Structure 1
Amino acid sequence: MTETKTAPISTTNLDRYGSAPLPWSRACDVLETDTPTADLTFFVSTVRPDGRPHSAGVGAVWVDGALYFKSGPGTRRARNLAVNPACTVSTRLRGLDLVMEGEAHRVTDPATLERVVAVYRTGGWPVEVEGDALTAPFSAPSAGPAPWHLYRLTLHTAFGVAGAEPHGASRWDFAH
């Protein structure tokens, strides 16, 4: 396991059947191992300016202890995040359902863009950095045309429910 930059400040056991609290490292290990090569879909939920929810599937990667995802600047998701960065990201991992709550902010740092692009490429997506955004010959149809913005999720809280041994359910809180 790579040491994560995001370590919880507290863990709450939510299991009602006597299982031990789940360690955050379990989620991190699966995220690190399975993104971007496994067939995972992450659902980013944002809030429209009028308060209505919006959710959309995205391709995301776990890099150096943080979750990154992309979005076309004209998408509903990007427009919502520009007004209100609060969001949730949900996925079903190997043996663990995971919901992460926090704030997503656009990443423009060249070194971070290059590091994340390198991880996306290991999954077969021929993405490149162009200026402060990403470009590639293709992406999901819902992403809109390139260039795409990259976002980093800053975790506030996460919830995990294990569907495989060892079973359990936990809440992890993070400093923010």
Structure 2
Amino acid sequence: MKEPTSTTNLDRYGSAQLPWSRARDIMASDTPKEMLTFFVSTVRPDGRPHSAGVGAVWVDDALYFTGGPGARRSRNLAANAACTVSVSLRGIDLVLEGEARRVTDSATLERVAAVYRDGGRPATVRGDAFTAPFSAPSAGPPPWHLYRLTLDTAIGVASAEPHGASRWDFAY
């Protein structure tokens, strides 16, 4: 598993720094079975922000999400891969920063589609994208591209014991 190259304690109340494993393990266990909404924020070509709720999954130590080719997030990511993804997990709020790039290799597509299916989302691979009888309206019509977030930084603020706030930096 990819571990952070450094951790910074952001807590101002004396709590210990949080281990990255806390956030990572919750994402691994709760996606896609829990009804979590991840918010992907991208940058439009004119510099204005865009944010959309997505269903994401943590698979093999990476976060994946989808978007139709015509969806604003997909068009933004095609021009600028930088993005943030935010989610409120059990006991910890999390912001992930990095770059999201389209995934087209069939082995990864099949692996991630299987995880979505295990969570009750009927994803199937067709060519280099996903299709299904339904998806979130913000994804646009099928096919849906799959994106993998490569983490640069993550920030977590614990809302349950043990409390704390930490920043994790990753070097790839």
Q: Please, what TM-score do these two structures have when normalized by structure 1?
A: 0.97
Q: 1:12-35, CA deviations, whole angstroms, 9 ceiling, x for partnerless residues?
A: 000001111000000011000000
User: 3-state SS of the aligned residue for 2:110?
Assistant: helix
Distance of 2:115 and 2:3 partners within structure 1: 21
Residues 1:141 and 2:141 are matched in the alignment: no
Displacement after TM superposition at 1:154 (Å)? 0.3
Cα RMSD (Å): 0.6
Distance of 1:150 and 1:32 partners within structure 2: 18
Displacement after TM superposition at 1:144 (Å)? 1.2
User: 3-state SS of the aligned residue for 1:81?
Assistant: helix
Partner residue, 2:20: 24
Residues 1:94 and 2:90 are matched in the alignment: yes
Letter in structure 2 aligned against 1:122? D
Aligned counterparts, 1:14-163, within 5 A: 14-163=10-159
Displacement after TM superposition at 1:7 (Å)? 1.4
Distance of 2:87 and 2:42 partners within structure 1: 15
Structure 2: give runs of 5+ residues left out of the alignment: none
Distance of 1:115 and 1:149 partners within structure 2: 14
Displacement after TM superposition at 1:152 (Å)? 0.1
Partner residue, 1:9: 5
Distance of 2:72 and 2:123 partners within structure 1: 22
User: 3-state SS of the aligned residue for 1:137?
Assistant: coil
Q: 1:41-80, CA deviations, whole angstroms, 9 ceiling, x for partnerless residues?
A: 0000000000000000000000010000000000110000
User: 3-state SS of the aligned residue for 1:119?
Assistant: helix
User: 3-state SS of the aligned residue for 1:99?
Assistant: strand
Distance of 2:45 and 2:122 partners within structure 1: 34
Q: 1:62-119, CA deviations, whole angstroms, 9 ceiling, x for partnerless residues?
A: 0010000000000110000000000000000000000000000000011000110010
